[in-house]
Amino acid sequence: MKLLFLACLSPKTGNHTTAERIRSYIESAGHTCELRDAGEFQSPADVANLVSQNPPFEGALAIHLFRAGRLLLDIQVPFGVIFGGTDINEDVKVEQKRVVMEQVLLKARFAVAFTDKLKEEAALSLVSQNSKIYVQPQGIKTEVTEKFCWTEFLRSSGVESEHVDELRVFLLVCGLRRVKDPLYLVEVFSEWHCKNLLNILVIIGPKIDPVLTVEVEAVIKRTAGVFLAQERSQQELHAAMERCFAVVNSSVSEGMSAAILEAMDLGVPVLARDIPGNAAVVQHEATGLLYSSPQEFVHQSQRLLSDRELRERLVRNGKCYVEEHHSLKQERETYQRLVDTLH
C-alpha cells in the first residue's frame, strides 16, 4: 500500500523524530510511506491533487489533527490521525480550529492518543468518537555517540568554569517556541546560581520561533548561570543528557515529552512542570519530580542535590517505567495493525 504521511517536520524536534519512527514501522511491514512536511501545503486541495497523482496514494496518516489533519479533508482515500499535545491542550480552545478538528476526527478511520488522559480530554472537547481513539504511548530508544566531549559541549555553550567536572548542569531540552516557555525558570535559577556557582542551566533545542529566539538570546546574554547551547544530533543530545545532573521540562502544555522519557531511559532524574501531559508520565517522587512554580523548582532541585536515596529511586523507577510502558515493539505492532485497517 502506498501511504502519504503528513507531519510538522521542523528539524530535530520531537514531532520529526516520532514521524520518522512511525514511518519506519510502516515501511518495515512492506508498505511505501512518503513522509511530507505539512508546511509544504497551502490547502486540502493541494494534498488531494498529490494523493490522486499516478500512481495514486491508497491511504494517509497525519500527526496533529489541526496542523496536518485538516489537509486530509478533501482526499478520497481512508486516513488515520495521531493527536499532538497542542491539539487538545491549545487548539480546541479556538472555536474555528475545534470545528475543523471535529471534521477530521469524524472522517478519520482511527485516531491515536499518547495517553489515556489525552483520550479523555479529546472525548470531552470534541464530538465523541471514543471507539475509534486508541491509546499508544510513544516508544523510546536512546543512543549515545562515543565521540561526544562534555567539556567542549559546555565551552561551546558559553560555560567558562574551571571546575567543569564539579558543575551541576540542569539541561532544559526544548525547541524555542512559546508553548515550551524556555524563559520560565531563568530569573529564579540565576538567583540560585549566584548563591551557588556550581549550579547552571543549559537550554538546548532548535530555534523554531524567530521572535522568541531573539528574546531568549537577549535575556540569556545578560543572565548569570544560564546558557544557550546549539542544537545537536539526537545521539549528541542523548550524550549531553546522560552527563547532566537533571533534565528539565518547563512547558505550558505537552502531549508526551520525548525528552522526559529519554532522560528516564538514560538514567537521569527529571524535573518537570506540573501540567497534565507531564503528570501523565511523571509520578511525583517516584519516577521524577514535579513543580508548579520557579521557586518550587529550586526547592525540588535542592532536594535532589541533598538526598542521594531520592535520586537513586527516581533513576531506578524511571528506567523501569520506560521499559514497561514505552516499548518500541508494542508501538510498532500497534501502528502496523492500524495501518492495515486503511486497506
pLDDT in tens, 11-29: 667 778 899 999 999 999 9
Query: What is the full per-residue pLDDT of the chain (343 aa) written as tens digits?
Result: 999 999 988 766 777 889 999 999 999 999 999 999 999 999 999 999 999 988 999 999 999 999 999 999 999 999 999 998 788 878 888 999 999 999 999 999 999 999 888 888 888 888 777 789 999 999 998 999 888 999 999 999 999 888 888 999 999 999 999 999 999 999 999 999 999 999 999 999 999 899 999 999 999 999 999 999 999 999 999 999 999 999 999 999 888 899 999 999 999 999 999 998 899 899 999 999 999 999 999 999 999 999 999 999 999 999 999 999 999 999 999 999 999 999 8
Residue 14 Ramachandran class (φ > 0 left, ψ -120 to 50 alpha, else beta): alpha
pLDDT (0 to 100) of residue 9: 85
pLDDT (0 to 100) of residue 12: 63
pLDDT (0 to 100) of residue 17: 85
pLDDT digits (tens, 9 = 90+) for 105-157: 999 999 999 988 888 888 888 877 778 999 999 999 899 988 899 999 999 99
pLDDT (0 to 100) of residue 178: 93
For the chain, what is the mean pLDDT? 93
Which residue, among 111, 113, 80, 50, has the nearest Cα to 342 in the 3D structure?
80
pLDDT (0 to 100) of residue 11: 67
pLDDT (0 to 100) of residue 117: 84
pLDDT digits (tens, 9 = 90+) for 246-256: 999 999 988 88
- Walk me through the domains of the chain, giving residue ranges and CATH numbers: 2-139+327-340 (3.40.50.2000), 150-325 (3.40.50.2000)
d(CA 246, CA 250): 13
**Are the C-beta atoms of 288 and 249 separated by less than 8 Å?**
no
